[in-house]
Amino acid sequence: MSRRRRNPFYLLLGIVGFLFTITAMSYCMAVLRGVRPDRAAATRAHPVQQLMDRHGTAILAGELLVLAIATVGAVAVDHVAGERERAAREAGRRETSGADRS
């Protein structure tokens, strides 16, 4: 039996999932800082916080879109690989049952 190929979408899912987690935490911090403007005015905003204030929603939406596409891709690749394995097993069974009859 041949070795099963790796699904390239799993690496993409891991990387984008990690980035999504960091982005979501940064976005939450920016929101919390906006809730308490008196403390936020006392200190200068970090560049990451400025980025989240301006483009946080768009970044999160883009990452969610990439996660959705990668998830569908991973499921599709696994499904196709499973169907190929099932077809190969059935073909092997047919060959062995045909050889037994002879």
Instruction: Measure the CA–CA gap between 74 and 79, rounded to whole angstroms.
Output: 8
- What mean pLDDT, rounded, does the chain reach? 87
**Token pair listed for 37:** 């403007």
pLDDT at 73: 96
Question: Within 10 Å of residue 7's Cβ, how many Cβ atoms?
Answer: 16
pLDDT: which is higher, 70 or 90: 70
- The answer to whether residue 27 scores a pLDDT higher than 70 is yes
Q: Domain map of the chain by residue range?
A: 9-101
pLDDT digits (tens, 9 = 90+) for 28-65: 988 888 787 776 667 777 888 889 989 999 999 999 99
Instruction: Measure the CA–CA gap between 20 and 67, rounded to whole angstroms.
Output: 9
